[in-house]
Every structure is written in structure tokens, then in C-alpha cells.
Amino acid sequence: MMMSPDACAGSRILVVGDIMLDRYWFGEVSRISPEAPVPIVRIERREERLGGAANVARNAAMLGAQVGLLGVVGADEAADTIARQLDELKIGRFLNRDPAISTIIKLRVIGRQQQLLRIDFEEAPTDIVLRDKLTQYNALLPQYDIIVLSDYAKGSLVNVADMIASATRLGKRTLVDPKGDDFSRYAGATLLTPNKSEFKRVVGSWRDEAELTTKAQQLRQTLRLEALLLTRSEEGMTLYTDAEVLHTPAMAREVFDVSGAGDTVIATMAAMLGAGKSLPEAAVLANKAGSIVVGKLGTATVTSEELFG
């Protein structure tokens, strides 16, 4: 499945969802605190990366797609950092700034190449800003071919059912990274990409592959999805459609960090579908991208050269 590194240049993707800033503090651990049985980390380096829906947009942009990002942030320095990084990546930014909240931040403290602590700062956006975002979403829809709804259950996608309906009316394909134990609000989407634990929360456990397939196809049909892509960690990924069940095994490599792997998978699916690939072709490439990104630290990305080289 050969593609040129600029094959995704024609993909026009709008990413909508919970925008975050991932902060990493790297340090040296040499002793235990006398105050409590915890390591003392002397911070030596700091990094800031786009997280949540912004990481999905970043992943799609790194594959060469034309990307826009719509979501809610605070009126603070973290939002300024996100805006600056989006500009550097030439991602169209449609940031609804809500002065009543702070931008979502996930702060990770890393010592000896291991995550020692994560601190989350988050508040749900206000109703007024969410209404403004929905109006802006409907205005942006005609400019894009693929819509990615990145749900981290932080409050930005309370109108997700309306968003899917609006996109469907205009003939847009909608890809959803779901959250929670009720997927009914995602009914009518083109593709859902739950991981194994998210899927189990909705349909319950299964005894064997045959029962898993039955449950996946039943859910797909109930929600009127064109496809369901189940990401299964070390077991790879399985794509369920009307026509087939396609299982792609995980590629053997050292797993360093799984954070953000789901973002890479859905971004790759969006970029490939936007470039004219079929769902099965896109799933194979998304599996490869996911396998590459778990070998990197933190919310990382895959380049076209890595994917097609």
C-alpha cells in the first residue's frame, strides 16, 4: 500500500472536542523525601505539547492534512501556548475563549524515564460558550470533508448528537473517539473508535472472538454506524463493517508510552479517508501509526515518512 509522503495534502479535516495542554516536567530522582515516602524530583527540563483534541489535530497535520481545530479554552496563558503551537503547525484555530474557566492542563512529572505523577486542571465550559461553538461549527462544516469528534468527557461535546446530524445532512463523514458508558449520542456517525475498556463498559465482557464480533456488529447496527474500529492494545485492531471483519495484529515493538495513541489512530483514519483510502486500507495504516507512536514518550506523532517509508 504505497503512498507518497504528501498523499494526505488534499485531506480537509475539522477536529472538534476537548482541547488540552500537556505539560511535561523532566527531572532527576536521587533520593526519597524525608517528609513522606515519595521521590524528590529535581526538575531539569520542561515541555509543552498539544493534548486531547489538539493532539488529534496535530497528528493529522503531521501527516500533511489541512486541519482546523474547534473547541473551548480559557482566557489564560495556557490557551496562548496552544494558539502559538497551532499556528506553528499551520492548523486553523477556532478557539472559543471562556473567561469563566481555565484551559485544561495535564501536568506529568517524569523521573528516570517514568511517569511519577500526573496532575489535572479542568473545568467544564459554560453554556453560552458552548452555544457559540455550535453556531461556529455549523458555519465551518462546508469547508471540510472529514469531521473528527474527539470526546474526552470534559464537557466540550455535549451537543455531539446535533453535530453528527448536521455533518450527515451535508454528506460529511464523521469519526468519533467516544467516552462514557452510553454511546447512543454518537448514533449516525460514520466510524466509532473505542478502545477495549471503553467498549467493554458499553457492551459487557465476552467469552471468545465470536461473541465479541456479535456484540460489535450489534452495536454498530444499533447506532447506524458505517464501521466500528476497536483498538485492542497488544492484540491490534479490529474493523467491523457490513461487508467484513478485518483484524490487524499489533506490530511487534517495545511499548514505551500509550498516552495519545488513540489520538494518532483516529487522526490517521481521518487523513487516509480524506486522501481517498477505503476504511480497510485506512485501518491498516492507522494500526501501523499506533504501533509507531507507542514507542515514543508522551503525546507524540507519526510523520508521513515513518508511515510510508
Average predicted confidence (pLDDT) for the chain:
90
Looking at the domain assignment, is residue 259 inside a domain?
Answer: yes
Indicate the pLDDT class of residue 253, thresholds 50, 70 and 90.
low
- Mean pLDDT, rounded, for 257-277: 85
Distance between CA atoms of residues 157 and 179, nearest Å: 10
Looking at the domain assignment, is residue 75 inside a domain?
Answer: yes
Looking at the domain assignment, is residue 27 inside a domain?
Answer: no
Distance between CA atoms of residues 286 and 268, nearest Å: 5
How far CA 43 is from CA of 46, 110, 141, in Å, comes to 8, 9, 44
Looking at the domain assignment, is residue 300 inside a domain?
Answer: yes
Question: Within a 10 A sphere around the Cβ of 32, how many other Cβ atoms?
Answer: 11
Angular region, 224: left φ>0, alpha ψ -120 to 50, beta rest:
left
Number of domains in the chain: 1
- What CATH number is associated with residue 219? 3.40.1190.20
Looking at the domain assignment, is residue 110 inside a domain?
Answer: no
What does pTM read for this prediction?
A: 0.91
Among this protein's residues, is 263 annotated catalytic?
Answer: yes
Looking at the domain assignment, is residue 109 inside a domain?
Answer: no
The pLDDT of residue 252 is above 60: no
pLDDT tens for 71-129 read 999 999 999 999 999 999 999 999 999 999 999 999 999 998 888 999 999 999 999 99
Looking at the domain assignment, is residue 275 inside a domain?
Answer: yes
Query: By residue range, what is the domain housing residue 199?
Result: 7-19+50-102+123-308
Q: Are strands 39-52 and 66-74 parallel, antiparallel or unpaired?
A: unpaired
Order of strands across the sheet with 114-121? 39-52, 19-32, 104-111, 114-121
Looking at the domain assignment, is residue 163 inside a domain?
Answer: yes
pLDDT tens for 169-215 read 999 999 999 999 899 999 999 999 999 999 999 999 999 999 999 99
Catalytic residue (choose from 22, 151, 257, 263): 263
Q: What pLDDT score was predicted for residue 176?
A: 97
Q: Which residues are 16's β-sheet partners? A: 70, 149
